[in-house]
Structure formats: C-alpha cells, structure tokens
Amino acid sequence: MNKLDQLFEQFYDNALEETVKAVGPIERKLTLKSGLLELLGDFTYLDETRVPFQINLIETKEFPDYKRELFSLSLTKLIEIKMYVLTPKTNKKIFPSVLALHGHGFGVKEAVGLTETGEQAQVAGIHNQFAVHLVKKGLKVFAPEVIGFGDRRLTRDIEQDNINSCEAMATNLLMEGKTLAGLRIWEARRVLDFIEQSSETDDQKIAMMGFSGGALVTAYTAALDLRVKATVLTGFTNTFKGSIMARHHCIDNYIPGILNFAELPEWISLISPRSLFIESGEKDLIFPNSYVKKAIAEIAEYYDNRPEKFSYDIFPGAHEINGRKAYDWLVNQIS
C-alpha cells in the first residue's frame, strides 16, 4: 500500500469516525432518514408540478396464467413513465402487489420477458424475467422503466446509441445539488402512490423487489416509505468500501456525503423491522461475496427479535437474479 492508498484509507476512516453514534436507536434512525432525504437532493419542484395521474393503455398481451399491459403514466407535464403491469388470471379481484425495479441493461423489457426489440425472449438474461416469476406466484406486478434507461434516455444518448443516460443525467443533477438516485426514488414513491390507489391492489400488502441499480432505488425507497411491507434486494447489498469504492461503477451509485452518515449496511437496516430478503450470487464480482456476508451479519443484528422478518440466499451464480428462495419468501410475507 503506497502513501496515496494510505491517505484514502484515512479519508474513509475519518468519515466513519465523524458519524453521529452517541444517540439512541430511534433517534439514530430518524437522523439517518432525514439525512438521506437531504443527501438525495431537493425535488420539491416536482411535487409542486404534479398532475393527477394520467394513464394511457398502449398494449395488452394475454398469457395462459396472466395478463401483461403496457401503460404510460404521467406524473408531471414532463415526466411520463412507461410501465408494464402484470396481473394474475385468478378468481381474485384484489391482489398483493410488488413494485419491480430493473437494473442496468436495455431497460424494463428484460424483466418482463422481452428482448430489446420487444419480442418474446428465449433466454432469460440476468434479470431472469423476474416480473413474470412474481406474477405467476399470484402477485400483481408493477414494472416501470427506470429513468435513464430504454425509452427514457435523453435525446443525445438515443442518437449516439448509448445504452443509458446515467452519466448525463447524474452529472447534470450533481451540478444542481441533486442526485439521480434521488430522482429515481421520487418516481418510485409516486408509483407507490399509484399502486396504493389502484382498485385491484391491497394497500396493506405492497412490496418492492429490485436488482442491482434497481435494488439501490428499492433499498432507499423502502427505508423512507413505510408503505413497503416487504423488500427483496438482489445484487446490491454490500459495503460501500467493498463495492462502489473498490472498483468502477456507474455514477448513479454515488450520493455525495452519504458515508459521513453511515456505511451501506446501516442504511439498508432502516428497512427494519419490516420484512427484508437479501439475494446475491456467490461469484458476483461487482458486489463481492465476502462483503455481502459482512453486510448481512450487520443487518441481521437489527432483526434479532424478529428473525422471521429477515432472510437471505447466497446462490451459485454471478451478478444476476436467481429467485429460488426470494420469490416464495416475498409471497409469504405479503399474502
């Protein structure tokens, strides 16, 4: 380790040493939640420009055991979200629901079983068509296209055939004292508003599942929003030091000043005492397994008195969704 390595180790240690520790657990949690809202950036302007939900049905596809609909959902005059809604074909009229957030790639289509060009996929991909697995378990699934991906890229990135607009959006927002994570979380919470008002959902049985960058948005949204009763995080749980500070990651992972409050496991623990499941591939090179285990051990301490609310699965695989335990766990938590 050279002197510069040592210097940056000291920066890291000093940031953690300066965090507020000498308060009770309730005060600590409130401090972190208010701190997170500040760190993500002020999106009050968006709240002031919201319009009543405007929904437009684009297409419907029938399958033997579920229906898949594609909607556009307008939140403001400038924010329109493309969102797939998957509904089980059962005798039920009210369903437990899950907000499913995809990670990096070509957008939401992979999560619902489509190719980039919109055809039925023959290979599952790293998202493992997880929205389809969830609807087949009896959940109503809301799968929006996360801003910055797919059809929701900036014109310049579409014209240059860039796979996402993360860098362009994030750098602009950072210059304005905001973060792309904050914008994505704002949108996720508005989709939760929509789910809560849906005539086919039980507003007491709402869950979230996210993969990779979608798990980042899921983790912080669930930490802030008590409407989320159960959460599944895949390909994300780690420490900052072991993941985004140790190797190159997309800029959308970085929230200035966040380490001055806490390391990632404590941020995730804000979800407690509500239900949490962590899934990770043992060969995930982006979020290394040794730090996954370290994070799980720390988070588990926040569930000492509620072990039935916390579980995890480290599966044989890489940076991908598996679901071998996560899907059934999620159903059991909100059914």
Assess whether pLDDT exceeds 60 at residue 200. yes
Assess whether pLDDT exceeds 90 at residue 153. yes
Q: What is the predicted pLDDT for the residue at 24?
A: 85
User: Are 303 and 310 contacting, i.e. CB atoms less than 8 angstroms apart?
Assistant: yes
Tell me: the pLDDT tens digits for 45-77?
999 999 999 999 999 999 999 999 999 999 999
Assess whether pLDDT exceeds 60 at residue 22. no
* Positions of E strands within the chain: 50-62, 66-76, 80-88, 95-101, 140-144, 201-211, 228-234, 275-281, 310-315
The band of 260, judged by pLDDT with boundaries at 50, 70 and 90, is very high
For 332, half-sphere exposure in the C-beta direction (CA atoms, 13 angstrom radius) is: 12
Distance between CA 45 and CA 13 in Å, rounded? 36
DSSP 265-295: HHHHGGGTTSEEEEEEETT-SSS-HHHHHHH
Assess whether pLDDT exceeds 70 at residue 43. yes
For the chain, state the CA radius of gyration. 19
Tell me: the pLDDT tens digits for 215-254?
999 999 999 999 999 999 999 999 999 999 999 999 999 9
pTM strictly above 0.85 = yes
- Sign of the Cα pseudo-torsion (53, 137, 103, 223, in order): positive
Q: What is the predicted pLDDT for the residue at 20?
A: 61
Q: What is the predicted pLDDT for the residue at 21?
A: 62
To which residue do tokens 């985004």 refer?
244
The band of 18, judged by pLDDT with boundaries at 50, 70 and 90, is confident
State what percent of residues in the chain have pLDDT above 70.
Answer: 99
Tell me: the pLDDT tens digits for 284-306?
999 999 999 999 999 999 999 89
Give backbone dihedrals phi and psi of 246, rounded to 5 degrees, phi first: -105, -15
Question: What number of H helices and E strands is found in the chain?
Answer: 11, 9
Q: What is the predicted pLDDT for the residue at 206?
A: 98
Assess whether pLDDT exceeds 60 at residue 92. yes
Q: Which domains does the chain have, with CATH numbers?
A: 27-111+125-334 (3.40.50.1820)
Q: What is the predicted pLDDT for the residue at 305?
A: 86
